[in-house]
Amino acid sequence: MLGFIARRILYAIPTFFAVSIVAFIIIQLPPGDYLTTLVASMASQGETVDPAALEALRNRYGLGEPIWVQYFKWMSNIFLRGDFGQSFEWNQPVASLIWNRLFLSFMLSLSTLLFVWAVALPVGIYSAVRQYSLGDYAFTFLGFIGLAIPNFLLALLLMYIGFRFFGQSVGGLFSPEYQEAPWSWAKFVDMLSHLWIPIVIIGTAGTASLIRIMRANLLDELRKPYVVTARAKGLPEHQVILRYPVRVALNPFVSTIGWVLPALISGEAITAIVLSLPTTGPLLLRALMSQDMYLAGSFILMLSTLTIIGTLLSDVLLALLDPRIRLE
């Protein structure tokens, strides 16, 4: 088991570097480097830049040096000093801008994942056990619709419904009085009461596809001989189904986290933009629009890293569930 985890972590390292290279390329893609943008934006405000400070920055990011040196400096700054670079739009270090939002993004994605599982698991089991029943057809149809509606459209729709019929805005994660307040229990409770709308919006598509996966897996498992064995033991039917085929079908279900999580984080970004949630999405979009590339690149790097870690955890969870993987 420990060997398995160690191997998985080892696999994750090259993936992380690949992600960091992609993020770095995205930072480098727009014409001109960070300093030219900085000088231009300060000049437009009638300020001048101290040449010595400019030189210091040039050294820090290795600007003007070969591209791989720049990459190396960027990475070592992140690892050694937690320095993600400078956001010229906010005139602040990127590190001071991202953590809070990343935390909320992470919370939101995680809650959505739990929601998706909590809904998809029982519905998938129901659909498989009662295959071709009215309920099965209804869920299948709902599932198709869930897959066809883009997140942002669902968000717009809910916002419109909330505004039109309930006269309230559904955006944001906090009520106005808690917006700037420090974290407290009351703020947490307030967040929970706002959280369900983005969770439903982000989770719909994932729930729909997971229901289909769970249903298909379980239908396969229900035909396996070990189900008959369990029945022949004299177990009551619900225990037969829950203890054996459902338990086995759980493994591929858990392994879907590898692509559900990236999809949720994607969906979180776009939903957050529409609902203007204080998470990474809106800031990432703004950074990209204004070509504030260190900020944008850091978001992409961190979101992808979170995904990698999530996938890693799901692999470990899978190994715990499935002895065939654990003991290979």
Partner 1 sequence: MNPSSQELLIDIRGLKTHFPLDEGVVKAVDGVDLSIHRNRTLCVVGESGCGKSITARSILQIVDKPGRIVEGSILYYRQSGMGNVEVIDLAALDPYGAAIRDIRGKEISMVFQEPMTSLSPVHTIGRQITEAIRLHMPLSKREAKAHAIEMLRHVGIPQPELRFDDYPFQLSGGMRQRAMIAMALSCNPSLVIADEPTTAVDVTTQAQILELLARLQAEHGMAVMLITHDLGVVAETADDVAVMYLGQVVEFGTVEQIFFSPKHPYTRALLKSIPTMSRRAQGRLDSIRGMVPDPFNRPQGCPFHTRCEEKIAGVCDRIAPPRITLEDGRDVRCLLYAQDIEMTPVQDAA
Partner 2 sequence: MTSEAQIMTPEVRPDPAVEEEARIYVASQWKLTWWRFRKHKVAMVSGAIVIFVYLVALFAEFLAPFPTDMYNSRYTFAPPQRVHLFLSTEEGLKFQPHVNGFDVEIDPVALRRTFVVDPDVVYPIGFFVEGFSYRLLGLFETNIHLIGPINPADPMYLLGADRLGRDVFSRLVFGTRISMSIGLVGVFLSFILGILLGGVSGLYGGMADNLIQRLIEFIRSVPTIPLWLGLAAALPMTWSPLAVYFGITVILSLIGWTDLARVVRGRFLTLRTEDFVMAARLDGASQQRIIWKYMVPSFTSHIIASLTLAIPGMILAETALSFLGLGLRPPIVSWGVLLQEAQNIRAVATAPWLLTPGIAVVVTVLALNFLGDGLRDAADPYSRG
Residues that bind partner 1 (CB under 8 A): 223-226, 228-237, 243-244, 247-248, 251, 321-324, 327
Q: Binding residue for partner 2 (CB under 8 A) from 128, 210, 303, 319?
A: 303
Give whichever of 54 and 235 is closer to partner 1, judged by the CB atom: 235
Told to check if 274 binds partner 2 by CB under 8 A, we report yes
What does 236 interact with, of partner 2, partner 1, none (CB < 5 to 8 A by kind)? Answer: partner 1
CA distances from 275 to 24, 152, 189, 288, 290 (A): 29, 9, 19, 18, 20
Q: Binding residue for partner 2 (CB under 8 A) from 46, 164, 183, 323?
A: 164
Give whichever of 182 and 225 is closer to partner 1, judged by the CB atom: 225
Instruction: Pick the stretch among 13-21, 60-68, 71-79, 194-202 that binds partner 2 (CB under 8 A).
Output: 13-21
Structure tokens that stand for 83 in this block: 């320095």
What's the CA dihedral at 103, 109, 111, 113 to 10 degrees?
-150
The residue among 24, 13, 153 whose CA lies nearest residue 84 is: 24
* Three-state DSSP class for residue 19: helix
What DSSP string describes 149-160?
S-HHHHHHHHHH
CA 162-164-165 angle, 5° bins:
70
Phi, psi of 173 (to 5 degrees): -110, -15
Amino acid at position 58, single letter: R
| In contact, 155 and 275? CB cutoff 8 Å | yes
Told to check if 273 binds partner 2 by CB under 8 A, we report yes
Residue 262: alpha-carbon gap to chain centroid: 5
Told to check if 107 binds partner 2 by CB under 8 A, we report no
Nearest distance in Å: CB 50, partner 2:
30
Nearest distance in Å: CB 209, partner 1:
24
Q: What is the DSSP letter of 182?
A: P
Give whichever of 21 and 235 is closer to partner 1, judged by the CB atom: 235
* Three-state DSSP class for residue 198: helix
Q: Binding residue for partner 2 (CB under 8 A) from 54, 219, 222, 288?
A: 288
Give whichever of 25 and 181 is closer to partner 2, judged by the CB atom: 25
Give the footprint of partner 2 on this chain (CB under 8 A).
Answer: 14-15, 18-19, 22-23, 26, 29-31, 144-145, 147-153, 156-157, 159-160, 163-164, 169, 171, 258-259, 262-263, 265-267, 269-270, 273-274, 284-285, 288-289, 291, 296-297, 299-300, 303-304, 307-308, 311
